Structure 1
């Protein structure tokens, strides 16, 4: 009995250590299961939640639900393939899997995709700060002055928040330290979803015409009762933004392997449970917030959901608090998204050198500077969701996991995972290419 117990213990130890030995050597107790779930959920949920109601308005309720189920299921399955490859090879980073599959070009390709994806994600989060934080401060202060004061400058506030809050959290050396802030960010997202449900019965439909300041998407006559009819299926040019926005919203693959490395008692099955719980909870929050956001504004939902509430309930206390909650959640999410971006940049520029605080700090500051520049000059958050979602998000979510599995795995040609990997690869290439072509076509037409 004791020999069998020792044998099983040795097998479990061998299952845990190969993944971690490459980078961490002897390892102290890692992040807890709950902390890892919160970190992965924080990596999944972010600014994408503000764009999903717009996606539902352009696909219909049934169409949106079907697409959301497909994208979330494929996201969980692609993580399964990545974890399976890590288990087979002992590799502990997405970039190293790319190198194993496609030699050095694969490493560079994945590193660039991770860097672009996460910089795009962080810039979309900071874009929300730039557009929403001045209005949030002004509404809480009940400022009635007609002149311009410093806190009404979103660019200045963005720089101050980045230096005082984001930079100290982003410069932390390990992602596990962010478990508490990730749990807090998820609570803020739950609060946002609750308020979206509540406000469905506060804003009348048809939407009132006597608003003097309307966003572009609300400049439509609302006299017809048909404006309040939900569509089950919608197909239009704007539907091209749906899958990229969902891919952007469910992409957590750049954070999966760092979280796996720091998980206490890391095994593939344990990390898969972390992934399944995180994606399932995120799916629920996404679906509820998108559904009730759409049922509030119907075809006139804005590309950033909060803008509709700002227009029709500008002085509502609950809306003001939910806006602040989203802003705090965004601030706490940026450091977590920064972690894999910095890791990819260091791997591309400096290789597998030992940890250096000088390189670590310099890379952190440089990435945040690039993100700040993009957040200041990007005109519409929908552009970030569309372009980044159809290119790097599709590659990291669908194309790379399928391609790497086909190149690295030794499983037979007709195995279930082999067929699944082929489907992921084809789906990612076709959907990403079609979405990007349609988005560029709409840009050309509008210009």
Structure 2
């Protein structure tokens, strides 16, 4: 059970690292294509399309000169300032998006977005389930709690820190989705950053577009080492359960770090879409970590402290997770096959 949890956690966090790399480079810096339309990245918009600002080259350069130094720290508290800066950049992204949306609402240049989805047939119902894995992925972050708790001098700060973090993240998620949908309406893309490559209908539109995308790119860049830290720690525990802590073994630390960077870099190049990545990650690893594994721990109940109500809730949680995400996986796969047939 413990090894299964560790393996699932490692796989999930590798996907999260892949998603960070893909979103940061391909969608923000190098551009992306959606529905047959190419959305220019920051570098492509500034300098035009060249070999040096293609996906693979940009990934390679920033992996070597940005991510590699950041993931070389052996303690999580060494990333405290970069983490704080990443939160500030996320707030900047939300504030600018909200400001633009409010200005356009005041000017009357924003159409009323649809409040409910269009359900024409059974396939439309199945498509609704594809949003569930993405939401689940956003809230699976508890694997960092133990690492943070181990480095806190005052253990009583753990609960307030976790609650504050969840409240802050939830506020950013809700504000981003609300104002982005208000701003772009039915034209909101899977990756909302791709919407910021056109005229927003306000003064200095191109400047705001670049500020939004640069701030988010920097935010993702600074989030990456936090996810990577937990991935490396858990992978080491899975492969070397009886060895001393990885921070005391420079050789093992270096080999695992370089190996993970190579695997993540390679996987990030071939990810077709950030939406597809989050859907499949959320419907598999995230569901296991967030719902199924915790429920299995309750059902196993090695200390005999779980009540009958706890076990009923655990079984219900497993059934709901399996059913809803089986539907989501089926819908995701069918959507990908349909896109290939159209292409």
TM class, shorter-length? 0.7 to 0.9
Residue 98 of structure 1 corresponds to none
Question: CA deviation digits over 1:175-231, x for unaligned, max 9?
Answer: 121111111000000011111112225669xxx9xxxxxxxxxxxxxxxx9x74322
Question: CA deviation digits over 1:30-84, x for unaligned, max 9?
Answer: xxxxxxxxxxxxxxxxxxxxxxxxxxxxxxxxxxxxxxxxxxxxxxxxxxxxxxx
Q: Is the 8 A contact 1:293 1:305 kept in 2?
A: yes
Residue 238 of structure 2 corresponds to 348
Residue 293 of structure 1 corresponds to 180
Q: Is the 8 A contact 2:196 2:213 kept in 1?
A: no
State how 1:237-276 maps to structure 2 within 5 Å.
Answer: 237-267=126-156, 270-276=157-163
Q: Is the 8 A contact 1:244 1:385 kept in 2?
A: yes
1:108 aligns with 2:3: yes
Residue 309 (structure 1) shift: 1.5
TM-aligned CA distance change 1:442 to 1:149, over 3 Å: closer
- What is the alpha-carbon distance in structure 2 between the residues aligned to residue 290 and residue 147 of structure 1? 31
- What is the alpha-carbon distance in structure 1 between the residues aligned to residue 338 and residue 213 of structure 2? 33
1:165 aligns with 2:90: no
Q: Is the 8 A contact 2:299 2:311 kept in 1?
A: yes
1:309 aligns with 2:199: no
Residue 232 of structure 1 corresponds to 116
Aligned residues between the structures? 314
Residue 280 of structure 1 corresponds to 167
Residue 86 of structure 1 corresponds to none
Residue 233 (structure 1) shift: 4.9
Consecutive unaligned residues in structure 1, runs of 5 or more:
1-105, 209-224
Q: Is the 8 A contact 1:130 1:376 kept in 2?
A: no
- What is the alpha-carbon distance in structure 2 between the residues aligned to residue 385 and residue 149 of structure 1? 28
State how 1:367-406 maps to structure 2 within 5 Å.
Answer: 367-406=260-299
Give the stretch that moved more between structures: 275-284 or 307-316. 307-316
State how 1:63-82 maps to structure 2 within 5 Å.
Answer: none
* 3-state secondary structure, aligned to 1:336: helix
Residue 298 (structure 1) shift: 1.6
In the alignment, which of 98, 117, 122 is matched to residue 197 of structure 1?
98
Q: Is the 8 A contact 2:51 2:57 kept in 1?
A: no
| TM-score between the two structures when normalised by the length of structure 1 | 0.65
Residue 305 of structure 2 corresponds to 411
| TM-score between the two structures when normalised by the length of structure 2 | 0.84
- What is the alpha-carbon distance in structure 1 between the residues aligned to residue 150 and residue 325 of structure 2? 30
| RMSD value, Cα | 2.4
Residue 325 of structure 1 corresponds to 215
Residue 266 (structure 1) shift: 2.0
Question: CA deviation digits over 1:282-326, x for unaligned, max 9?
Answer: 111111110111112222210000101113349611220121111
TM-aligned CA distance change 1:429 to 1:257, over 3 Å: farther
In the alignment, which of 318, 329, 332 is matched to residue 439 of structure 1?
332
Residue 239 (structure 1) shift: 1.9
Residue 137 of structure 1 corresponds to 43
- What is the alpha-carbon distance in structure 1 between the residues aligned to residue 215 and residue 251 of structure 2? 34
Residue 103 of structure 1 corresponds to none
Q: Is the 8 A contact 1:129 1:154 kept in 2?
A: no
1:123 aligns with 2:12: no
Residue 62 of structure 1 corresponds to none
Consecutive unaligned residues in structure 2, runs of 5 or more:
31-40
Question: CA deviation digits over 1:389-409, x for unaligned, max 9?
Answer: 000001111111121123135
Question: CA deviation digits over 1:356-408, x for unaligned, max 9?
Answer: 11111111111111111111111211110110000000111111112112313
* 3-state secondary structure, aligned to 2:308: coil
Residue 38 of structure 2 corresponds to none
